[in-house]
Every structure is written in structure tokens, then in C-alpha cells.
Structure 1
Amino acid sequence: MTSTSEAAGRRAATVRVLIADDQDIVRAGLRMILDAQPGIEVVGEAADGREAVALARALRPDVCLFDIRMPEVDGIEATRQLAGPDVEDPLAVVVITTFDLDEYVHGALKAGARGFLLKDAGPALLTQAIHAAAQGDALIAPSITARLLATFADTHGRPRPAPPIEPLTSREEEILIPVAQGWTNSEIADGLHISISTVKAHLASLMRKLDARNRVEIAMWAYETGRINT
């Protein structure tokens, strides 16, 4: 017989997801994929960005999964309203789209998204992105990570990013590179022969020094300052 504490523990571990897409068939497909994954529960659906923002504020899901192109309010503006720099209690947003356009990706990340995937990413990557966002991490589809960040590292006509508030240590500089290349914490730990807790501690320090909210912003800073060249 399942105890109350065990049931509560399972509920606490479940990632609650809100889906927003203007196509019924896409929403149904995403729900089917996510409902089949252990530890994920779809708690709501929206057919446009305005409805998505209202539902997100009412339901407070752990992760919002938003399409870019939606009527009323698009996915980027919806992300900005829920996760932007001025939002006091931001929600985690993962943007998923058919359109592999750099300006969409960059706009979503600048608006506060914790992930960006193409709709052909597959269930495994989608699930990974949902869990990463729920844990305060970020994931961008590997097929577009390097190209995206390298494209927007071009400083012509763009102000260079602010320097860190404190100099980075040699280890932080070392961790910066694999973060910018899309490595997970486990991959960084294995590659540098350090513990995951040490990786997390260095990431926390990097976020503080760079005034970054997540590893995506750390990666963008690395590219924009020329630390990564592709």
C-alpha cells in the first residue's frame, strides 16, 4: 500500500508542464509524448500566446513549452512576460518551433527562455529539455547551438558584453568552454575529472560574475567575447 508521504514525494518530483501552440494536432502530439514520460504531467494547453500567459500565471507550471509563432501574442513576447529580466518571479520556458531561424532563437533566449528546440527534436531531447528547465538549467538543440551563438558573437553594430564583475579563475575559464559548447554538467565533470558538485559551484560563480541567469547566457557571453570561435 502506498503511503501518503510516498505519494507526496512522487507528486513533488513530477514536472508540471503547460503547452502553448496554435495547432491542435501539434498540441495533441506534444501532450501524448509528454504524458508518456515518467515524472512529467501536462497541466494545461493554450492555443495562443495571450491565453498561454494567463494560464501560466494562474497555474504556475514548472515549465512552459511555447511555440514561436502564435496569434495574439507570439512565443517570444509570451516568454518575455513570464521569464524576462524584469519579471520578479520568472517561470521556466522552453521554446519549440519548426523554424530554424537565428533571430527567433536569439530573441527567445534574450527574452528569458531556458531552452530552444526544433519540433523534430524527438521525445528524448524534448524530455531532457523539460527536466533541465525545471531544474534551473538550460538546453538548446545541439544542431543549432554553435551556429546560433557564433552568429550573434559578431560584434559589428552590437555593443560588447559587460566585463565580469570579478576576474574569472582559470578553472572558470576552463568550464566556460564546454558550457558554451552545450555540454551537460555530467559531461563537464567527466571531461575535467571533477565532481558534479564542483561543476555546479563554478557555474554558480560564473553566473554571479557575469550577471547571467542561466548557462545559456553564460554561453552567449563566451561567444560574444570571442572565447569560442567556430
Structure 2
Amino acid sequence: MKILFTCLILIFPFGLTAQNSQPGSVLTKQKKHTINYIGLKFGALASSFSRNSSIMMPSPGKKSLSAWHAGLAMDLFSKVNYNARVELSYLSKGARETFNNDRISIQSKNRLHYLQLSALPLVLKGGSKKINPYLAFGGYYARRIGINSQSKTPQQNWENDPITTKNLNVRGDYGYSVSAGIYIRKRPVFEIRYEAGLRSVSSSSDIKNRSLILSFSI
């Protein structure tokens, strides 16, 4: 009997609550969820080596190395004027350089293949609902998965350069990035980005990656 009374005492308040709480009696505000962008990113880039820690910006042409990139991108914390983004990409960086002295001229071409993780914690948007320009600031960490070094003289063809390959011996690269682009509604469409490495790709020389990256997203 004590158990029965105890059960009734415990159940009675819940019964009153159920009777008094009709479906329309309590106004609940539904949270509006924002669907974050998840998609593919691809494009082209021009890269070069900085040998004096300058913030030089590569440009397509004979003095820089052209390549392509592709990967996945995802937006986080999407707001009208702000969001963050993470990316995982495959890309090639490196440089095309010419070294001269009194006796000989040597051309060098180094292509470093990376798997790169980029984080843009600060993406500032204009706030327009249709065409929305943005600026983004962040950084990256890249792990080298391959390298191709070649050299030539005016009298020779391109040949593998094992000495330069051995000199460019640092596999990890990290640095900062600055981007400008355009969202159409909630999807990024076009972007141009400057990336500057903070770590030398050689343990014996001060050689850092510099890249100018053009991207399209779908």
C-alpha cells in the first residue's frame, strides 16, 4: 500500500502538467537552422620561392611556376556577415628560377606536391543576400607527398636534379593566407588568395613558399 501511495504522489504532478499544457498554450520559438556550404573547390595557382623572407606576390609567367589545385571546402558558423571555413586540397607549389654567374646560366624548376589543410576562422562578408563579397584571413598546414626537381643549361635539355631534391628536404610547410572572393547567396563562387609560408622548405637554406591562388567553387 505504501508503494501504491508513493507512486500516486509521484505521478499526480505529471498528470496535472500534462492536462494544463495544451499544444497551443506554450509558444515555442523554433530555431532557424542555416545550411552550411559543402562543396568542391578547384582552380589554378602561380607560385615561387622567397629567399629573403619578403612577402613578394607571384604572378603567372616565366619567373613563377604554374599549377592546378582541387579539393573539398566546408563553411562553419554561417551568419549574414561572418562565417568560418575549412578546406582539404591537393596542390603543387614551387618555383622556376635562373641562376647566373660569369661562366654559365642554369635554369631550375622545382615542383613540390602537397596535401594541404586550410583553416579560415575569419570570413567577413558584406551582408548582401544575393551577391556578397568577402575578405578572409587564416592559415594552412601542408604535408609534402612528392617532389620533382629539374635543371638545364642553354645547351642541354631538362634533367633530374638530385642535388636540389636533397636540399629541399623539409616535408612540412605552414603559413598564413589572405583571400578575397564573392558569395552568390550562400555559396562561395570565386576567390583569389595569397599564401605565404613561414617555414623554410630546406633545412640548410631560407627558402619559403609564396603562392597566388585562383579558385572556383561548386
Q: TM-score category by the smaller chain? A: under 0.3
Higher percent of residues as helix: 1
Structure with larger Rg: 2
Select the structure that is richer in strand. 2
- For normalisation by structure 2, the TM-score amounts to 0.22
**TM-score in terms of structure 1 length:** 0.22
